[in-house]
Amino acid sequence: MKIIVTSIFVEDQDKALEFYSETLGFVKKQDVPAGEFRWITLVSPDEQDGTELLLEPNAHPAAKEYQKKLFADGIPATMFGVADVHKEYKRLVEKGVEFTMEPTEMGEVTIAVFNDTCGNLIQIAQK
């Protein structure tokens, strides 16, 4: 058994697709109609056959409430691995991304946290 898809709740699928592809650099893998919304997944450009990130609409009241509470409490919705947190931090700041935590060493890991503009905090980590 392996993880093939993981999801993140987003307020607006089009806005999220733009941010995650154009700003973060993920590659769109699927974009198909799914009722009133779409099944949109992205993958890492380095692992295009790897785990897909689903941009899940937060239309359900429980999803919306969950997302808002995580954000309000400063809890990242997910974590992405990077080779160099400081380099990625600089690249994203230059693209206008707002960080709530600058690169910070936590034992053997260095992390940073940013606002994805779609209702989530995202953590990047370097081991």
Residue 5 to residue 14: CA distance in whole angstroms:
19
Residue 109 to residue 98: CA distance in whole angstroms:
21
Q: Which of 12, 94, 113 has the alpha carbon at shortest distance from 55?
A: 12
**What confidence tens digit (pLDDT) does each residue in 72-97 have?**
999 999 999 999 999 999 999 999 99
Q: Which of 41, 35, 68, 67 has the alpha carbon at shortest distance from 55?
A: 41
Record the pTM. 0.95
**Start-to-end C-alpha separation, the chain:** 25
Residue 94 to residue 30: CA distance in whole angstroms:
28
**What confidence tens digit (pLDDT) does each residue in 103-125 have?**
999 999 999 999 999 999 999 99
Pure H helices in the chain: 13-18, 61-72, 85-94
Q: Which of 45, 9, 12 has the alpha carbon at shortest distance from 29?
A: 45
